[in-house]
Structure 1
């Protein structure tokens, strides 16, 4: 495998060593759940724990079918947007798997564990893949796509854990890559912000799961890198904690709801744009 490059999304993120451990953590939570816990509602409106596990399984099996086996049967309907298409096929899958018992669903999830990791280990993650809607319209490197998948698994596991009363998976080794991946939406988030070349904005997420990132204007776009702004007067800065950060990026909370947990400085409009950063696919 060739060394992973650092495009305008910043230096690469390697989540491959964590994927199997994240999967095992989910399996550990699901082991021994009773019928009431499988039927418990989650933060995903209208979905139970059973539904959310079905969604996670569907995402993994669909990815294996497309990327490993070259099997592609789902396409958007005429005039259907990508987010609407994704929402539709997700809903269709969850509805179909409501016919399966928790025991069968659990066994299928266990059986699929590690297959995606094995696939990605054989690929050159520097190669371009498809676009990632929240990162921009151009093809993104596979390392960012894999990291994006990891963030989805982690967020859904947090939602499952919250629904059944389990402790969150908040250890820095698991949460830090989520924060690092979500912040890669910053260059695309700033696409409407015009600034002379060299102007900088900073985003800081506190604690061992966090870090500092700087987006620098090229005059026609923005380039992200790790580290605090080198400028004494950055255009704008945002600071918050990791729990607030990932919830903002997934629209689990709105900026106004967590204003006491966020520190802002610099241009108010640019700060508002940064707080509106979304690192999930939405319609």
Structure 2
């Protein structure tokens, strides 16, 4: 029995992003490890610690027994507190300790994924310790690792990987969350049609349709008279959707045609990951 075909895209996306992160951080000096990552309260080291911690949990390792300091201003939610444990426990690690643990963890995780024989619907530990399916766990890990690869590329001045397996995987994950942005976030009324037109290395056009009961769905069919059309490039799209860019800072990178009030509401609720 081999790895189930439905898991292969997530594994491929994870592998390329994980290897890229290891390559990006391997030559860093101690000072570069400690520079701000662009995420609130986290250095580059903290960001990599988060990746290591996520993979350790996916491997089934026990979580560290660790008490957080009370003065971490960026830890405001239970989700943030959960994630911070894996980060704070590594804050005093040296750069060789970080690269060594990252390499060892990725070797273990890569071996696990290559030998994965479980059914995609098998129950495993997922984000925040909640139980989920193996399919969803792998999907979330591949998405998370690609997003943090991009975080590192921006802070280190090493752009790239905006058109590989990880980018296409991230597109699919973000598009699945788009109907909720339009209905639950922006509060679009029934019969609303929102078109998202994205150009760049990953280009696509998708339509969110709100039915008579207020439920949203997304598809690739062209709409001739949308309520609003949001046009942008792929890099801006993923930065907005991942909470890395505020809508007001996007400037001319985002264009709205049609119902401006609804378009602005969609943008205000565009971030579905952080």
What TM-score do you get using the length of structure 1 for normalisation?
0.76
Matched, 1:167 2:162: no
One of 171, 181, 185 as aligned partner of 2:173:
181
Matched, 1:280 2:273: yes
SS of 1:170's equivalent in the other structure is coil
The Cα of 1:130 is off from its aligned counterpart by 9.2
SS of 1:208's equivalent in the other structure is coil
CA contact (8 A) 2:240 2:246 kept: yes
Match of 1:136 in 2: none
CA contact (8 A) 1:176 1:210 kept: no
Match of 2:101 in 1: 108
Task: Call closer, same or farther: CA 1:254–1:146 in 2, change over 3 Å.
Answer: same
CA contact (8 A) 1:13 1:177 kept: no
Superposition CA RMSD, Å: 3.2
Match of 1:80 in 2: none
The Cα of 1:215 is off from its aligned counterpart by 1.8
**Within 1, Cα distance between the matches of 2:140 and 2:82?**
19
Matched, 1:88 2:81: yes
**Within 1, Cα distance between the matches of 2:266 and 2:171?**
14
Task: Call closer, same or farther: CA 1:115–1:183 in 2, change over 3 Å.
Answer: farther
**Within 2, Cα distance between the matches of 1:201 and 1:128?**
36
One of 215, 223, 228 as aligned partner of 1:236:
228
CA contact (8 A) 2:208 2:216 kept: yes
Map 1:254-269 to 2 at 5 A: 254-269=246-261
Task: Call closer, same or farther: CA 1:178–1:64 in 2, change over 3 Å.
Answer: same
Matched, 1:204 2:197: yes
Task: Call closer, same or farther: CA 1:50–1:153 in 2, change over 3 Å.
Answer: same
SS of 2:77's equivalent in the other structure is helix
**Within 2, Cα distance between the matches of 1:160 and 1:89?**
22
**Within 2, Cα distance between the matches of 1:2 and 1:152?**
21
Matched, 1:60 2:49: no
CA contact (8 A) 1:60 1:112 kept: yes
SS of 1:239's equivalent in the other structure is strand
Map 1:12-91 to 2 at 5 A: 14-65=9-60, 84-91=77-84
Q: Which has the higher contact order (CA 8 A, sep 6+)?
A: 1
Task: Call closer, same or farther: CA 1:251–1:161 in 2, change over 3 Å.
Answer: same
Cα displacement string for residues 85-133 of structure 1 (whole angstroms, at most 9, x for unaligned residues): 2211222322211232221221121112154463594344467989999
Q: Which runs of 5+ in 1 are unaligned?
A: 5-11, 75-82, 134-138
The Cα of 1:26 is off from its aligned counterpart by 1.0
Size of the alignment, in residue pairs?
253
**Within 2, Cα distance between the matches of 1:256 and 1:13?**
38
**Within 2, Cα distance between the matches of 1:24 and 1:115?**
13
The Cα of 1:248 is off from its aligned counterpart by 0.7
Matched, 1:195 2:187: no
**Within 1, Cα distance between the matches of 2:224 and 2:243?**
31
